[in-house]
């Protein structure tokens, strides 16, 4: 018998409460099987708390890497659902990836052992479909239970929102936390009195009131209130005694969670005691809507994402205002003036209390003048022919590389189509093997060409990019933010209007 280098893969998702699926239980099953059959286990891969529908898992990725580098040639799992719950991936790994890499695959509880064969029983695909259906069913049931609980006014989140705390007598109920509830009321009161969110944040900080994170006992670098914390409190209907039933939606396949649109929210009223009355809350929402300013212009301004405060090193905000005075003369229809401003003074004044500004036109002139001077010092004209030649070479290789990558993608798509034809029994096993082998040979040849081109191109990238930048820079019509980002790493602006430009070359 072949002396196999066996690896075992164990996985448990956060939602799985079945004791038979515990990591220790899986380990016992697969190690007992390996001992009985005389297989030597050289490595164990464990993903604890990871869903089987995810393609990328830490230990799973490590296992795939080891297979590709021939460190293991046998994989043992408790059952197929531990490997993956995606029906398509089940077929891919068992019928293509493992055979291609000469890996013997064993699923103990499913009585599956590929042995030294390259074909695996078609029941694997059926089991893959069952596993994915099971996951979808579990996900729906969990969502249904949570939604039903919320509809009944029960609070199911782990943490209570700021201003509330979990009830000590009733599970899934929140009650007012009198220690901080007055802070919430103060925020609503001050906003209705005309205070901006920034001024409210500053006032709470000055009073020495702990931020919500600090109050919960979480570690915070700076215990200062921020505008966004104030905004979240002002917009949350939970303070009126209501629960939002569908604030978030999740995809069981990708595990991604996204926020639903506010107009689609459904509320369960009178779920708990309110901190602010509905009339106050509605007045605040009306003010928030009236104060919301949409971006006044959408064009990509010249120095976008490049301007930073020279004191605190935070990115400066791009803003506009109407000029009401020119040379101390009041004007009625003032022109719009765009400028950069350090807003850290509103967020964390202890970090930076400068709040300084610089006009966009002024900064643009300084940067362009400095940039022109820098390029002149490089004596670009003397090197232009060399750079042009290198650029031409690199450009042709880029085109060839793009074509090869496109061909590789087409072959990968053909393999998927071929595999589906086999599943649907539109072609025989023999036809599948022959066509699959031909496609893999083509793919291998293309991969070699791609790697060779990449090696040849490495030493030319810098010359190509420099040349492209110079050519575009010489044409005023192409002078834009993209070119600036290639030339400049960062622009630092100080309170005395001193500008420090850090170049990329």
Per-residue pLDDT of the chain in tens (505 residues, 90 and over written 9) = 678 999 999 999 877 777 778 899 999 999 999 999 899 999 999 999 888 878 788 999 999 999 988 999 999 999 888 888 776 677 778 877 888 888 999 998 888 888 744 344 444 444 544 444 555 555 555 566 666 666 777 887 778 999 999 998 888 899 999 999 999 999 999 999 989 888 899 899 999 999 999 998 888 888 889 888 999 999 999 999 998 877 666 554 444 556 677 777 778 898 899 999 999 999 999 888 876 544 444 456 889 889 999 998 899 988 887 665 555 555 555 567 889 999 888 777 778 888 899 999 899 888 888 887 777 776 555 555 555 555 555 556 667 877 888 888 888 888 888 887 877 778 888 888 888 888 889 888 898 888 887 776 554 445 555 555 555 555 434 557 887 888 888 999 999 999 999 988 7
DSSP symbols for 267-319: EETTSS--SS-HHHHHHHHHHHHHH----S--S--TTTTTEEETTT-PBPEEE
Per 3-state DSSP, the chain is made up of helix, strand and coil in percentages (nearest 5) of 50, 15, 35
Q: Which residues contact 146 (CB under 8 A, 6 or more apart)?
A: 156
**Residue 390 near residue 467, CB atoms below 8 Å:** yes
**Residue 53 near residue 256, CB atoms below 8 Å:** no
- Residue 314 has what DSSP assignment? P
Structure tokens at 409: 């993608």
Residue 225: how many other CB atoms lie within 10 Å: 26
**Residue 135 near residue 21, CB atoms below 8 Å:** no
Residue 299: how many other CB atoms lie within 10 Å: 8
> Residue 490: beta bridge partners?
502
Beta pairing class for 336-341 and 357-359 = antiparallel
According to the model, what pLDDT value does residue 54 have? 80
Across 121-208, the runs of DSSP E, i.e. the strands, are 164-166, 174-176
According to the model, what pLDDT value does residue 477 have? 41
Structure tokens at 225: 């209130």
According to the model, what pLDDT value does residue 479 have? 58
- Closest-CA residue to 411 (of 385, 440, 390): 440
Residue 47: how many other CB atoms lie within 10 Å: 22
Positive or negative: CA dihedral 244, 245, 249, 250: positive
**Residue 276 near residue 335, CB atoms below 8 Å:** no
Residue 349: how many other CB atoms lie within 10 Å: 16
- Closest-CA residue to 225 (of 246, 200, 260, 194): 200
According to the model, what pLDDT value does residue 26 have? 92
Positive or negative: CA dihedral 251, 255, 256, 258: positive
The pTM of this model reads 0.42
Structure tokens at 123: 């029941």
Kind and range of the H or E run holding 440: helix 429-457
Burial of 175 (0-12, 13-18, 19+ CB in 10 A): middle
């Amino acid at each position: 018998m072949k002396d196999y280098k066996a690896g075992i893969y164990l996985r448990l998702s956060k939602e799985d409460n079945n004791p038979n699926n515990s990591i220790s239980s899986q380990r016992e099953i697969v190690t007992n099987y390996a001992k009985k059959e005389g297989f030597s286990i050289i490595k164990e891969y464990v993903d604890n708390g990871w869903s089987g529908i995810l393609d990328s898992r830490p230990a799973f990725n490590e296992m795939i890497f080891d297979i590709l580098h021939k460190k293991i040639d046998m994989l043992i799992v408790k059952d197929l659902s531990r490997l993956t719950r995606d029906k398509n991936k089940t077929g891919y790994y068992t019928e293509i990836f493992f055979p291609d890499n000469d890996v013997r695959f064993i699923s103990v509880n499913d009585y599956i052992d590929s042995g030294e064969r390259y074909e695996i029983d078609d029941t694997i695909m059926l089991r893959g479909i069952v596993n994915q259906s099971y996951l979808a069913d579990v996900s729906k049931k969990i969502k249904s239970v949570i939604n039903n609980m919320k509809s009944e006014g029960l609070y199911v989140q782990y943490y209570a929102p700021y201003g509330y705390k979990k009830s000590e007598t009733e599970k899934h109920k929140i009650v007012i936390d009198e220690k901080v509830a007055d802070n919430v009321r103060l925020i609503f009161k001050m906003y209705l009195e005309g205070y901006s969110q920034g001024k409210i944040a500053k006032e709470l900080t000055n009073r020495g009131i702990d931020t919500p994170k600090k109050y919960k006992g979480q570690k915070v670098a700076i215990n200062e209130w921020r505008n966004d914390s104030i905004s979240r409190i002002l917009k949350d209907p939970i303070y009126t005694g209501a629960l939002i039933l569908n604030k978030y939606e999740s995809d069981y396949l990708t595990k991604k969670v996204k926020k639903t649109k506010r107009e689609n929210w459904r509320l369960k009223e009178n779920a708990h005691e309110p901190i602010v009355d509905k009339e106050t809350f509605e007045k605040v929402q009306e003010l928030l809507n009236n104060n919301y300013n949409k971006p006044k212009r959408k064009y990509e301004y010249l120095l976008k994402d490049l301007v930073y405060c020279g004191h605190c090193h935070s990115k400066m905000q791009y803003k506009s205002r109407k000029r009401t005075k020119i040379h101390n003369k009041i004007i009625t229809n003032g022109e719009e003036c765009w400028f950069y401003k350090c807003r850290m003074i509103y967020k964390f004044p202890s970090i930076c209390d400068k709040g300084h500004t610089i006009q966009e036109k002024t900064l643009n002139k300084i940067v362009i003048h400095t940039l022109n001077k820098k390029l002149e010092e490089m004596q670009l004209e003397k090197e232009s022919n060399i750079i042009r030649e290198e650029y031409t070479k690199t450009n042709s290789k880029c085109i060839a590389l793009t074509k090869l990558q496109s061909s590789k993608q087409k072959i990968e798509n053909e393999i998927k189509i071929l595999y589906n034809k086999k599943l649907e029994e539109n072609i025989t096993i023999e036809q599948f093997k022959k066509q699959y082998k031909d496609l893999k040979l083509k793919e291998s040849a293309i991969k070699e060409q791609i790697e060779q081109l990449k090696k040849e191109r490495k030493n030319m990238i810098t010359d190509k990019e420099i040349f492209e930048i110079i050519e575009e820079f010489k044409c005023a019509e192409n002078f834009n933010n993209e070119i600036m980002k290639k030339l400049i790493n960062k622009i630092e602006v100080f309170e005395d209007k001193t500008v420090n430009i850090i170049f990329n070359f």
